[in-house]
Structure 1
Amino acid sequence: MLVIALVAGVALWFAKPWAPDVVVVDPGPGGTRVTDQGLLANYYPVPGSAAPGILLLGGSEGGISVYADQQAQLLRDEGYSTLALSYFGGPDQPAAMESLPLETFDTALAYLAAQPQVDRDRMGVIGSSKGGEASLLVASRHPELKSVVGMVPSSVVWQGMDLQQPWRMVSIGSTWSADGQQVPYLPFGDFRGGDLVQLYQAGLDQLAQHQDAIIPIENAGAPILLVCGESDTMWPSCEMSRQVADRAQANGGPEVTVLAYADAGHFAAGPPVSTDNDFYNSLGEYGGSVAGNAAARAENWPQILAYLQRTLGS
């Protein structure tokens, strides 16, 4: 029995059924793979004269997902030269969200600004989930950016995660680092089961003791658009979005607009998903109903595009 248990344990270790598959999709039509300066990204330039540039950041799935890549292509088709960046999980990249260097985003923005298809004076960042957390951090470090979109974002820097080896979670510090030092972070709370949002909510309950973990959004120079789902079961994206707006207002920061949807969750934001899309029936997986998330996306994507047009042009 001991041998059987050992063999089963080894098989489980290599299979890792709890760990999501990290993919780095090949670029689609009109896109190119970027590996310069240590980056890993898919770049979709707008043909012709210099267009606004957008840095696109996915979430805790890591790599460059099919959906992030498709979104980059949609943005290119709307007139924005877009760089979809893998900031962890790809080949030769960290496997865990642990002390990930914010300098990766600095390098990505510099690369984007140097491209002939990009007007360096009209650049922005869009991020979803952990990428939404990153997008607000990037905005606070780059006041020259003209446009910032956070989809189901965070108001704070969170403790990191290792989805490949979840038993390490208790020993992981900050998700991010800068100049080789961990960025101050908010630890997870005491998780007693239930939806994952309760873990994050318990952390937010201790925010008064970790004020240095709050993202200094008042340092951003661009008006900010945040989209969230009130029924998010991944983390409290609407509560954190309102915290971003409140801090910006209290500290003389930029205008922050929050689009919140009652019957939507962690998939509340982004391009519309048709009923025949394989992803459609998964829209309610992390809160809200399938129909509620679909309706939210159908409503907020045109507003995101209108916001980009207002802040960047095209």
Structure 2
Amino acid sequence: MMFPPLILGIALAAATADDPHPFPGRVSDWHGFVRHDFRVGGADAIVVEPPEPLPGRPWAWRGEFFGAFPNADLEPLRRGWHLAYLAVPDQFGSPRAMEHWETFYDVLVRDHGLSPKPALIGLSRGALYCMAWAAGHPDRTLLVYLDNGVCDFRSWPGGRPKGLGEGKGSPEEWSKLLRVYGFRDDEEAISSRLNPVDRLAPLADAGVPILLVYGDSDTVVPHRENSEVVFERYRALGGPVERIVKWGQDHHPHGLDDPEAIVEFFERVRRGG
């Protein structure tokens, strides 16, 4: 029997969701969980499986620095969330990086049945990736958790060396950023509207919850130029935003000694609360 293409496509999608493909690649142990390392679109990918996936197969997507300060990754895994990461380093959330993310997202959702709305985890420069994805895909974003996140690349890697902020900055990383974004010069980068702080309206319109965790003594990614700007602008736009301030703390360590407040935020959003 021949089926119309639309009906056949729906049937295939349903079959994939009900019977997701197993993850490919090398299998290893990661903090007691099953880790899969494989390649997607020419980039190294990691997926860590929970012992018992929650209904709907929710997942958290690390923007950068997989394995660093992982307690807010491990606790969701214990509770049934998948964890995923795609290695496209030194891309600063650029359009080129987002092309790789598009491919990875399609594979995880289409082939492996993960939820169409991942939770995004952005530590430091990882925030540039997470916020670029969320701004471009608010309908494909469950929530955003940023920890001492870079929300304005003028602040970092710009900072003091470029006369753009109070932080230490990094001329080497600034040069990389100009190359991957295709900016002709500093002036084009400075005037760009691709910064997370300037792309909050789509997220607010979609009601994407944001959690900001940051130290108020961060000398690398100053909170007054990054997290606090996002907090104030997002709140003014009517977006749901929360913050946890780590008083007296610098850029490191990331996360919280007890990640329960972060995990509770994940679970509350997942349940629709």
Q: TM-score range by the shorter chain?
A: 0.5 to 0.7
Moved more, 232-241 or 132-141: 232-241
Structure 1 gap ranges (5+) = 1-25, 89-93, 189-208, 271-296
**Residue aligning to 2:178:** 174
> How far 1:69 sits from its partner (Å)?
6.5
User: Using a 3 Å threshold, how does the CA distance of structure 1 residues 234 and 146 change in structure 2: closer, same or farther?
Assistant: same
Structure 2 equivalent of residue 243 of structure 1: 229
Question: Which residue does 2:254 correspond to in 1?
Answer: 269
C-alpha contact 2:148 2:254 (8 A) present in aligned 1? yes
Tell me the CA shift for residue 32 of structure 1. Answer: 0.5
Q: Which amino acid aligns with 2:100?
A: T
Shift of 1:238: 5.0
Gaps of 5+ in 2: 1-27, 159-169
Separation in 2 of the partners of 1:184 and 1:254? 33
Query: Counterpart of 1:259?
Result: 244
Pick closer, same or farther for the CA change 1:160–1:108 going to 2, 3 Å. Answer: farther
How far did residue 36 of structure 1 move? Answer: 2.4
**Structure 2 counterpart of 1:298:** 257
After superposition, give the CA deviation of every residue in 1:208-257 in whole Å (9 maximum; x if it has no partner): x636253202212311001100111222035411101222233x352221
Distance of 2:75 and 2:184 partners within structure 1: 33
1:127 aligns with 2:122: yes
Cα distance between partner residues in 2 of 1:183 and 1:148: 31
Contact 2:75–2:263 under 8 Å retained in 1 = no
Deviation string for 1:251-288 (max 9, x for gaps)? x3522212112121212532xxxxxxxxxxxxxxxxxx
RMSD between superposed Cα atoms in Å: 3.6
Secondary structure of the corresponding residue to residue 267 of structure 1: coil
The size of the alignment, in residue pairs, is 223
151 and 168 in structure 1: CA distance in 2 versus 1, 3 angstrom threshold: closer
- Give the superposition deviation at 1:153: 0.9
1:217 paired to 2:200: yes
Q: Does 1:102 align with 2:98?
A: yes
Once the two structures are TM-superposed, the CA of residue 107 in structure 1 deviates from its matched residue by: 2.4
8 Å CA contact 1:123, 1:312 repeated in 2: no
C-alpha change, 1:170 and 1:230, in structure 2 (3 Å) is: closer
Tell me, yes or no, if the aligned pair for 1:98 and 1:174 is still in contact at 8 Å: no
Q: CA deviation at 1:39?
A: 2.9
Q: Shift of residue 86 of structure 1?
A: 1.6
* TM-score with structure 2 setting the length: 0.67
Q: Equivalent pairs: percent with the same residue?
A: 18
Does the aligned pair in 2 maintain the 1:229–1:262 contact within 8 Å?
yes
TM-score, structure 1 normalization: 0.59
Letter in 1 for 2:264: A
Q: Report if the CA contact (8 A) 1:127-1:133 is conserved.
A: yes
Residue correspondence of structure 1 range 1-314 to structure 2 within 5 A: 28=30, 29-46=33-50, 47-48=52-53, 50-59=56-65, 64=66, 66-67=67-68, 72-88=73-89, 101-116=97-112, 118-120=114-116, 122-144=117-139, 145-158=141-154, 171-174=175-178, 177=181, 181-182=182-183, 210=191, 212-215=193-196, 216-220=199-203, 221=206, 222-250=208-236, 252=237, 254-270=239-255, 297-299=256-258, 301-313=259-271
Native 8 Å contact 2:93 2:128 kept in 1: no
Structure 2 CA distance for partners of 1:129 and 1:167, relative to 1, 3 Å: closer
The answer to whether the Cα contact below 8 Å between 2:92 and 2:128 also exists between their aligned partners in 1 is no
**Cα shift at 1:185:** 7.9
Q: Which letter maps to 1:87?
A: V
